A and B are shown apart, each in its own frame.
Chain A
Amino acid sequence: MSAFPHRHLLGIETLTAADLTTILDLGERFLEIATRPIKKVPTLRGKTVINLFLEPSTRTRTSFEIAAKRLSADAINISGAASSTVKGETLLDTARNLDAMSPDVVVIRHSQAGAAQMLAGRVSAGVVNAGDGAHEHPTQALLDCSTIRAHKGKLSGLEVAICGDITHSRVARSNIFALSKLGARVRVAGPRTLLPRGLEAMGATVHDRLEPALEGVDVVMMLRIQKERMGTGLFPNTREYSRYFGLNDRRLALANPDAIVMHPGPINRGVELEPSVADGPRAVILDQVARGVAIRMAVLYLLAGGEAGES
């Protein structure tokens, strides 16, 4: 029996703490490969990974592509418009076509919640959810946990604040699940218009102002404000948003003195993060990026048939 008993990685919600730790530990070991002069191991030679990005995301796609290549897998990128139906092809058609190419792993990014699960039910490859609508983005949560663990030495018992647009954030959902499963306590904060109902049932404490949420926390995770939320009645403008919900030095002083600042990127400088914070000593944002590759290597390795014990 494999240490990772799943064919797909569709979300964090259905994983156990042991599953998460398996990936985190393996990611730790893959991190070293990036420091070698030749950043490549033959582990997944002959395997095919398809990056199906039907919603644009250069960062995540590149991260998965590098991860696949460092393991010597053949990585193929397929990108599309914001929605597959724009091209007149349904996700079902896409799945059939993909299956005919016999990939070992399909990484999917899609604008609709549930798309990864739908694909997983229809292809024989392992499926990695690289973000489905406002549902989950499991590898982002895993790389966040990896970063926190590296800086704090543990996850259990930590206080973590996730701030910003929780409603539309798959990063927030996956992190609430992951951090809670690993023993951290999660607070979320944002204007009431960006806080969906039922967050308490998911295990988070809810605040509508940043200040109480930041008090005494070990980790501050800021979320990106999407430009397309502007003018939709969820908040008046970026000026007011940054004034009440942006992270500046004054607010950061409420957190523990050794608190770290995270952001999934790309940052709207001056909106959710003041430049002094984004580029300050507490920010671990570039570390998140580096660990993203290692975590994705671990996930591809486990789903393409590797065992956690034999890398």
Chain B
Amino acid sequence: MDFCLRGGRVIDPVRKLDLTADVLVKDGVVARIGAGIAAGVDGSVRVLDVSGCWVMPGLIDLHTHLREPGQEYKEDIATGTRAAAAGGFTAVCAMPNTTPPNDTRAVTELMVRRAAEVGVVRVYPIGAISKGLQGESLAEMGELREAGCVAVSDDGHPVMNSELLRRALEYARTFRLPLVQHCEDLTLSAGGAMNEGVASTRAGIRAQPAAAESSMVARDIELCALTGARYHVAHVSSAESVRLVREAKRRGLPVSCEVTPHHLMLTDDACAHYDTATKCNPPLRTAGDIEALREGLRDGTIDAIATDHAPHSVLEKDVEFEQAAFGMTGLETAVPLMLELVREGTLTPATFVARLSSSPAALFALPGGTLSDGTPADITVIDPEAAWTCERSAFVSRSHNSPFIGRAMRGRPALTLVAGRIAFSEERFRG
């Protein structure tokens, strides 16, 4: 089926477009963008009225946990990609901490095959840096790349050994794979269930200092300078980490980073009532850190917004705070939360699209991120004004570990097209 999206605000920072226009999708690709196209199409094209909505290149999440293989009771490729589509994402990068971990071609191939069978958005696997995510010996990055991995990471298991990280950067560079690091010095963070500060002292919860993150960012930047490899900091959360990345970019190093919506929106005070949905790693930090993250997002130090969608069942979350698993779901709340940043002026509509689509595509060399003629029609349409309340029952993800349940939201995805096919749509666009 061919579509014409009529009368939306079309935003594409790569083409420097921001105008009201119609978008014609033919044979799965973007055929044309311009005024009055809808008036001229024949009956074979379905015209969808998207006036009042924003039309943009499909959102790409660099950091998703799909939990398949191994932990399908939390999420699987089918439910995770449906949640992604509902959240406005047309592609997700799947982290390798599955069971078994994605450290070999066989696991990557399984994920690629499952995604083709049941996935509703594109799935790009991220391979492991080290075998078994153990931080001891290098994973087979050449084969991982060949099988479809777009980056390497031991996410959740920071590479503590500096010599191994040096070799991993060199080896990843050989295969043009960006190396994604979860920065956390495990000796500094040991036992810490939240950010160390006033809130943790009041609550009596064992905590980890922000320096556990930034000290590893500092070390890694030096190794990036030594090796020349593409280095990407996952989910930056502290002001000092942002400062270090800014300085590294000024030095001309191939360093990039991402931030999650929850680190931009919530402080560690949210943990004060022992709500395990607020427990994540890196932990929620202070108002000062949030300010620095928002500034980094504004000035381009932070390249991308990624969800770190980390589904967990009640088995892991309905327990005492310190015993609960780290992580929260994020695919379905990213768009409305980041629209709050647009309304308050941290992001312009164009940077909103850049941080959620164009930059992620460029960082991991993925298709998409623009609405150029002839590119596959991965398109996200959002209704920026729709008012709604985030409710547990509305989640498509198999898990509901979100601290935003109950929050009044404004704006949400209305339509998600992947290669010209509807992956998600609001009621009004259903045939």
Q: Point out residues on A near B: beta carbons under 8 Å.
A: 13, 83, 85, 90-92, 110, 112-115, 117-118, 132-136, 170, 173, 196-199, 201-202
- Please tell me if the beta carbons of B204 and A132 are within 8 angstroms of each other in the complex: yes
Given contacts A118-B274, A197-B196, A201-B198, whether A113 and B204 have CB atoms under 8 Å apart is: yes
* Residue of A92, A112, A114, A117 with most chain B CB atoms under a 10 A cut-off: A114
- Please tell me if the beta carbons of B323 and A85 are within 8 angstroms of each other in the complex: yes
A-binding segment of B128-136, B175-183, B256-264, B313-321: B313-321
Complex CA gap A85/B318 in Å reads: 12
Complex CA gap A260/B323 in Å reads: 39
- What 10 A-B pairs are tightest by C-beta distance, nearest first? A114-B274, A198-B198, A135-B204, A112-B320, A134-B204, A196-B201, A113-B204, A198-B201, A201-B198, A114-B321
Q: Which residues of B contact A83 (CB under 8 A)?
A: 323
Complex CA gap A196/B205 in Å reads: 11
In the complex, B380 has a CB within 8 A of chain A: no
In the complex, B397 has a CB within 8 A of chain A: no
* Residue of B196, B202, B205, B322 with most chain A CB atoms under a 10 A cut-off: B202
Given contacts A91-B319, A92-B319, whether A113 and B203 have CB atoms under 8 Å apart is: yes
Q: Which residues of B contact A134 (CB under 8 A)?
A: 204-206
Given contacts A113-B274, A117-B273, A118-B274, whether A199 and B201 have CB atoms under 8 Å apart is: yes
Q: Which residues of A contact B204 (CB under 8 A)?
A: 113, 132-136, 170, 173
Complex CA gap A173/B201 in Å reads: 9
Nearest B residue to A91, CB-CB: B320
Complex CA gap A134/B320 in Å reads: 13
In the complex, B357 has a CB within 8 A of chain A: no
Complex CA gap A132/B320 in Å reads: 10
Least Cβ–Cβ distance between B188 and chain A, in angstroms:
12
Out of A113, A170, A197, A201, name the residue touching B322 (CB < 8 Å). A113
Given contacts A117-B274, A197-B197, A198-B197, whether A13 and B202 have CB atoms under 8 Å apart is: yes
- Please tell me if the beta carbons of A197 and B201 are within 8 angstroms of each other in the complex: yes
Q: Which residues of B contact A117 (CB under 8 A)?
A: 273-274
Q: Which residues of B contact A196 (CB under 8 A)?
A: 196, 200-201
Nearest B residue to A133, CB-CB: B204
Complex CA gap A201/B206 in Å reads: 18
Q: List 23 A-B contacts (CB under 8 A).
A: A85-B319, A85-B323, A90-B319, A91-B320, A92-B318, A110-B320, A112-B320, A112-B321, A113-B205, A113-B322, A132-B204, A134-B204, A135-B205, A173-B204, A197-B196, A197-B200, A198-B198, A198-B199, A198-B200, A201-B198, A201-B201, A202-B198, A202-B201
Q: Which residues of B contact A197 (CB under 8 A)?
A: 196-198, 200-201
* Residue of B196, B201, B318, B323 with most chain A CB atoms under a 10 A cut-off: B201
Out of B196, B202, B205, name the residue touching A202 (CB < 8 Å). B202
Complex CA gap A65/B319 in Å reads: 27
Given contacts A113-B274, A197-B196, A197-B197, whether A173 and B202 have CB atoms under 8 Å apart is: yes
8 extra interchain contacts, Cβ-Cβ under 8 A, other than A117-B274, A197-B198, A197-B201? Answer: A90-B318, A133-B204, A134-B205, A135-B204, A173-B202, A197-B197, A198-B200, A202-B198
Least Cβ–Cβ distance between A115 and chain B, in angstroms:
5
Nearest B residue to A200, CB-CB: B198
Least Cβ–Cβ distance between A205 and chain B, in angstroms:
15
Q: Which residues of A contact B274 (CB under 8 A)?
A: 113-114, 117-118
Complex CA gap A202/B206 in Å reads: 17
Complex CA gap A110/B198 in Å reads: 23
Tell me the residues in window 75-129 of chain B with beta carbons closer than 8 Å to chain A beta carbons. Answer: none
Least Cβ–Cβ distance between B323 and chain A, in angstroms:
7
Complex CA gap A173/B322 in Å reads: 18
Complex CA gap A239/B42 in Å reads: 90
Least Cβ–Cβ distance between B316 and chain A, in angstroms:
11
Tell me the residues in window 182-225 of chain B with beta carbons closer than 8 Å to chain A beta carbons. Answer: 196-206
Q: Which residues of A contact B197 (CB under 8 A)?
A: 197-198
- Please tell me if the beta carbons of B202 and A198 are within 8 angstroms of each other in the complex: yes
When each residue 47-72 of chain B gets 1 if its CB lies under 8 Å from chain A and 0 otherwise, what string results?
Answer: 00000000000000000000000000
Complex CA gap A198/B196 in Å reads: 9
Nearest B residue to A233, CB-CB: B187
Q: Which residues of A contact B323 (CB under 8 A)?
A: 83, 85, 112
Q: Which residues of B contact A170 (CB under 8 A)?
A: 204
Out of B196, B203, B318, B320, name the residue touching A115 (CB < 8 Å). B320
- Please tell me if the beta carbons of A135 and B203 are within 8 angstroms of each other in the complex: yes
Q: Which residues of A contact B202 (CB under 8 A)?
A: 13, 173, 198, 202
Least Cβ–Cβ distance between A301 and chain B, in angstroms:
27
Least Cβ–Cβ distance between A168 and chain B, in angstroms:
9
Q: Which residues of A contact B205 (CB under 8 A)?
A: 113-114, 133-135
- Please tell me if the beta carbons of A114 and B201 are within 8 angstroms of each other in the complex: no
Least Cβ–Cβ distance between B326 and chain A, in angstroms:
16
Complex CA gap A150/B337 in Å reads: 55
Q: Which residues of A contact B196 (CB under 8 A)?
A: 196-197
Q: Which residues of B contact A132 (CB under 8 A)?
A: 204
Least Cβ–Cβ distance between A218 and chain B, in angstroms:
25
* Residue of B201, B204, B321 with most chain A CB atoms under a 10 A cut-off: B204
Q: Which residues of B contact A113 (CB under 8 A)?
A: 203-205, 274, 320-322
Q: Which residues of A contact B319 (CB under 8 A)?
A: 85, 90-92
Complex CA gap A134/B202 in Å reads: 9
Q: Which residues of B contact A90 (CB under 8 A)?
A: 318-319
- Please tell me if the beta carbons of B201 and A118 are within 8 angstroms of each other in the complex: no
Least Cβ–Cβ distance between A134 and chain B, in angstroms:
4
Nearest B residue to A92, CB-CB: B318
When each residue 383-404 of chain B gets 1 if its CB lies under 8 Å from chain A and 0 otherwise, what string results?
Answer: 0000000000000000000000
Complex CA gap A132/B323 in Å reads: 13
Complex CA gap A170/B196 in Å reads: 17
Q: Which residues of A contact B206 (CB under 8 A)?
A: 134
Complex CA gap A130/B196 in Å reads: 25
Nearest A residue to B320, CB-CB: A112
Complex CA gap A118/B198 in Å reads: 22
Complex CA gap A90/B276 in Å reads: 15
Least Cβ–Cβ distance between B82 and chain A, in angstroms:
29
Q: Which residues of B contact A85 (CB under 8 A)?
A: 319, 323
* Residue of B200, B273, B318, B320 with most chain A CB atoms under a 10 A cut-off: B320
Complex CA gap A92/B322 in Å reads: 15
Q: Which residues of B contact A92 (CB under 8 A)?
A: 318-319
- Please tell me if the beta carbons of B322 and A112 are within 8 angstroms of each other in the complex: yes
Complex CA gap A113/B198 in Å reads: 15
Nearest A residue to B274, CB-CB: A114
Out of B198, B199, B318, B320, name the residue touching A114 (CB < 8 Å). B320
Q: Which residues of A contact B318 (CB under 8 A)?
A: 90, 92
